[in-house]
């Protein structure tokens, strides 16, 4: 028989069916000619299916969905209901309850107040009713936080395919669906791939997961998207004036108004891509309303240029992030004041909500205030010295070198020591540091502040305050692992005591490492009810 006449499909499963078979197919049933042809068929099919291999293994997807559903159910079961006495500080009281529940662990503990997360969403919907929030998963990818925001109506801004997979697992568990098509439809409507520079494999992953809304800010990125994800819906990212932002971004991301109009629009059209709108980001933790104003005006110009030059009717405006997690004391720029400006400009520049969908990418706005960190003091060391220089620190309380001491050697003579007053400072060693949650001091420019746990200090009473100056160190063997120096309000603290750090949910555990083998914080979820006593 001629090889071309062999019916290789007779009695054989398809390639996809082979993947799903519980038992391997018995190839001994085939003739040599069938085996040779089947071998060629397999080689060709495997090459064609290489990019789509994750989707082919549905059993793995089903296992992942089942595991996600189980984890989802387990998370729901560990939400603690805490009754806070009326006269007590809620976070302080909950911290004590969490430590008792966890049997005072040596690892740091991150409290997550789900009621406060709901309050943030309610405020968003009240003050920015037209703007759909796409939570920036990078800010804090804790599964409970992400899941709760989904239940509250949030969608998601993802920076990588791994963040998309996290969202997919949560959507799958919430939907109770294992059908990839259903999940892909949800991913399409609930995710923006907002990273302007994407790895090719992540573009393929986004495509296979059903994520369609993508951001680009350069001609080369547009060409890459056209190659790997030609059916994407494109947002062109504008650069912003963000000098006053806590974390400026325009030095790295965004194209000028001129380049966007004259280069990027044309490049996208030449590649046959579907440009649907404009995005910008005024910098994380923005404190300049004028930056937001200019960005919205520039976005309007791109909408107009797209219509006049190419006949494109853009329909999506992504105003990015930059919303403060907590209003800064004394600052005229608050979330409410920014919302007022945004609403006014949207009414003026994009008056028809039926024509333009407005979305945003808030991260710290949602994640910051619901979280508080509990750290434990595991060592206390009082150092007496005439030296006057501390090691380089990540955070500082604003104390000059002349006001601080360290325990290093000094070349000062004994006669000079006799003429100078010896000073002392206390080293407090905590179970979290700049390689863990306090990386936020280095990378996010955050100002942190420790509070003694009241129930510990009040039970002990006032202690001797002869050594008022403290330095707070993290646990690693790196001398740079220094959180704060010149701290003068912790004189009552001792080994085994705890410090409470509020507003620690944004860009903390998300970038924490296990350097030296130290554990990152464990999360403790709770809701509160106030009592009358």
Q: 179 forms bridges with which residues in the sheet?
A: none
96-100, 323-327, 426-430, 511-515: segment of lowest average pLDDT: 323-327
Euclidean distance between CA atoms 102 and 329, whole angstroms: 34
Phi/psi of residue 236, each to 5°? -95, 125
Euclidean distance between CA atoms 119 and 527, whole angstroms: 12
415-423 mean pLDDT? 46
Q: What pLDDT was estimated at residue 399? A: 35
206-234 mean pLDDT? 97
Choose between 517 and 12: higher pLDDT.
517
Encoding tokens for residue 56? 């082919």
pLDDT category at 412 given cuts 50, 70, 90 is very low
Q: What pLDDT was estimated at residue 462? A: 52
Give every CB contact of residue 422 below 8 A, 6+ residues apart in sequence.
384, 385, 386
276-290, 398-412, 439-453: segment of lowest average pLDDT: 398-412
For residue 144, CA distances in Å to 172, 319, 487, 515 come to: 14, 26, 34, 25
336-350 mean pLDDT? 95
In whole numbers, what is the pLDDT of the chain averaged over residues? Answer: 83
With 70 as the cut, is the pLDDT of residue 153 above it?
A: yes
Provide the percentage of residues in the chain whose pLDDT is more than 90. 60
Query: Cα(first)–Cα(last) distance of the chain, in Å?
Result: 92
Q: How many CB atoms lie within 10 A of CB 364?
A: 26
Choose between 325 and 73: higher pLDDT.
325
Euclidean distance between CA atoms 253 and 239, whole angstroms: 7
With 50 as the cut, is the pLDDT of residue 417 above it?
A: no
Provide the percentage of residues in the chain whose pLDDT is more than 70. 73
1-15, 187-201, 202-216: segment of lowest average pLDDT: 1-15
Domain positions in the chain are 11-50, 128-367, 371-410+419-530
Instruction: Work out whether the CA dihedral 66, 72, 73, 75 comes out positive or negative.
Output: positive
Instruction: Work out whether the CA dihedral 429, 433, 434, 440 comes out positive or negative.
Output: negative
Q: What pLDDT was estimated at residue 22? A: 47
Instruction: Work out whether the CA dihedral 358, 361, 365, 367 comes out positive or negative.
Output: positive
With 90 as the cut, is the pLDDT of residue 71 above it?
A: no
Does 371-410+419-530 match 128-367 at the fold level? no
Pick from 191, 110, 114: nearest CA to 152: 114
DSSP 169-192: HHHHHHHT---HHHHHHHHHHHEE
Give every CB contact of residue 424 below 8 A, 6+ residues apart in sequence.
382, 383, 384, 385, 405, 466, 467, 469
Give every CB contact of residue 229 below 8 A, 6+ residues apart in sequence.
203, 204, 206, 207, 214
pLDDT tens digits, 233-242: 999 999 986 6
Q: What pLDDT was estimated at residue 400? A: 36
pLDDT tens digits, 24-41: 555 566 677 766 776 777
Q: What pLDDT was estimated at residue 467? A: 52
pLDDT category at 196 given cuts 50, 70, 90 is very high
Euclidean distance between CA atoms 414 and 421, whole angstroms: 12
Euclidean distance between CA atoms 428 and 400, whole angstroms: 19
pLDDT category at 3 given cuts 50, 70, 90 is very low
Choose between 414 and 372: higher pLDDT.
372
Give every CB contact of residue 127 below 8 A, 6+ residues apart in sequence.
335, 336, 339, 340, 343
pLDDT category at 289 given cuts 50, 70, 90 is confident
For residue 95, CA distances in Å to 116, 358, 456, 499 come to: 15, 39, 11, 10
112-116, 220-224, 261-265, 416-420: segment of lowest average pLDDT: 416-420
24-38, 189-203, 389-403, 512-526: segment of lowest average pLDDT: 389-403
Choose between 15 and 115: higher pLDDT.
115
Encoding tokens for residue 193? 């791939």
55-64, 176-185, 307-316, 427-436: segment of lowest average pLDDT: 55-64
Tokens 């819906």 -> residue: 233
47-76 mean pLDDT? 51
pLDDT category at 418 given cuts 50, 70, 90 is very low
Instruction: Work out whether the CA dihedral 391, 452, 459, 466 comes out positive or negative.
Output: positive
Q: What pLDDT was estimated at residue 503? A: 98
Choose between 253 and 110: higher pLDDT.
110
Euclidean distance between CA atoms 321 and 43, whole angstroms: 47
371-410+419-530 CATH choice from 3.30.530.20, 3.40.50.300, 2.40.37.10, 3.40.50.2300:
2.40.37.10
Euclidean distance between CA atoms 202 and 389, whole angstroms: 47
Q: 111 forms bridges with which residues in the sheet?
A: 372, 524
Name the 3-class secondary structure at 526. strand
Q: Which long-range contacts (CB under 8 A, 24 or more apart) does 300-308 make?
A: 300/349, 300/350, 301/257, 301/261, 302/236, 302/238, 302/257, 302/260, 302/261, 302/265, 302/278, 303/278, 303/350, 303/356, 305/261, 305/265, 306/265, 306/275
pLDDT tens digits, 124-151: 999 999 999 999 999 999 999 999 999 9
Q: What pLDDT was estimated at residue 354? A: 96
DSSP 426-463: EEEEES--TTTTTHHHHHS-----EEE-HHHHHHH---
Euclidean distance between CA atoms 57 and 61, whole angstroms: 7
Contact 242, 282 (CB under 8 A): yes
Q: What pLDDT was estimated at residue 57? A: 45
Q: What pLDDT was estimated at residue 456? A: 80
Encoding tokens for residue 214? 């993508």
Burial 98-108 (b: 16+ CB within 10 A, else e): bbeeeeebebb
Pick from 147, 155, 151: nearest CA to 189: 155
Q: What pLDDT was estimated at residue 252? A: 74
CATH topology of domain 128-367: TIM Barrel (3.20.20)
pLDDT category at 201 given cuts 50, 70, 90 is very high
Contact 502, 82 (CB under 8 A): no
Q: What pLDDT was estimated at residue 205? A: 96
Q: What pLDDT was estimated at residue 210? A: 96
Choose between 116 and 67: higher pLDDT.
116
With 90 as the cut, is the pLDDT of residue 156 above it?
A: yes
pLDDT tens digits, 311-334: 999 999 999 998 988 988 877 788
Give every CB contact of residue 361 below 8 A, 6+ residues apart in sequence.
133, 134, 135, 136, 157, 192, 194, 281, 318, 320, 321
Q: What pLDDT was estimated at residue 290? A: 80
Active site residues per annotation: 477
Tokens 């991301």 -> residue: 253
């Amino acid at each position: 028989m001629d090889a071309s006449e062999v019916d290789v499909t007779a009695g054989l499963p398809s390639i996809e069916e082979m993947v799903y078979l519980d038992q391997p197919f018995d190839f001994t049933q085939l003739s040599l000619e069938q085996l040779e042809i089947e071998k060629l068929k397999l080689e060709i099919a495997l090459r064609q299916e290489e990019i789509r291999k994750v989707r082919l293994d549905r059993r793995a997807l089903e296992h992942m969905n089942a595991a996600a559903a189980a984890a989802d159910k387990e998370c729901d079961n560990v939400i603690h209901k805490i009754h806070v006495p009326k006269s007590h500080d809620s976070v302080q009281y909950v911290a004590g309850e969490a430590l008792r529940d966890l049997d005072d662990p040596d690892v740091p503990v991150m409290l997550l107040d789900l009621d406060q997360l709901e309050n943030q969403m309610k405020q968003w919907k009240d003050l920015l009713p037209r703007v759909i929030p796409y939570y920036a998963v990078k800010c804090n990818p804790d599964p409970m936080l992400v899941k709760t925001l989904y239940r509250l109506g949030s969608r998601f801004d993802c920076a990588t395919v791994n963040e998309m997979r996290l969202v997919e697992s949560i959507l799958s568990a919430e939907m109770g669906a294992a059908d990839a098509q259903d999940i892909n439809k949800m991913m399409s409507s609930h995710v923006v791939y907002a990273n302007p520079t994407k790895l090719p494999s992540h573009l393929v992953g986004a495509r296979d997961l059903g994520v369609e809304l993508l951001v680009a800010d350069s001609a080369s990125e547009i060409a890459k998207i056209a190659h790997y994800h030609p059916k994407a819906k494109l947002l062109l990212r504008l650069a912003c004036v963000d000098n006053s932002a806590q974390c400026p971004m325009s030095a790295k991301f965004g194209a000028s108004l001129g380049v966007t109009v004259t280069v990027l629009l044309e490049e996208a059209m030449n590649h046959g891509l579907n440009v649907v709108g404009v995005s910008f980001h005024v910098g994380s933790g923005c404190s300049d309303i004028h930056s937001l104003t200019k960005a919205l005006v520039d976005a309007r110009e791109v909408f107009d240029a797209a219509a006049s030059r190419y006949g494109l009717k853009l329909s999506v405006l992504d105003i990015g992030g930059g919303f403060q997690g907590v209003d800064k004391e004394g600052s005229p720029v608050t979330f409410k004041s920014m919302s007022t400006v945004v609403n006014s400009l949207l009414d003026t520049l994009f008056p028809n909500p039926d024509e333009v969908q407005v979305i945003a990418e808030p991260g710290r706005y949602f994640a910051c205030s619901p979280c508080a960190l509990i750290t434990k003091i595991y060592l206390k060391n009082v150092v007496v010295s005439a030296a006057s220089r501390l090691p380089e620190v990540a955070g500082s309380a604003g104390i000059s070198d002349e006001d601080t001491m360290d325990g290093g050697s000094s070349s000062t003579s004994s006669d000079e020591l006799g003429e100078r007053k010896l000073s002392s400072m206390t080293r407090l060693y905590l179970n979290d540091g700049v390689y863990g949650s306090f990386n936020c001091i280095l990378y996010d420019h955050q100002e942190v502040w420790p509070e003694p746990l009241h129930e510990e200090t009040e039970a002990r009473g006032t202690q001797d305050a002869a050594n008022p100056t403290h330095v707070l160190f993290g646990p690693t063997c790196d001398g740079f692992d220094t959180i704060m120096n010149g701290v003068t309000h912790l004189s009552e603290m001792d080994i085994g005591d705890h410090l409470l750090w509020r507003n620690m949910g944004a860009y903390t555990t998300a970038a924490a490492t296990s350097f030296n083998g130290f554990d990152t914080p464990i999360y403790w979820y709770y809701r509160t009810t106030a009592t009358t006593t």
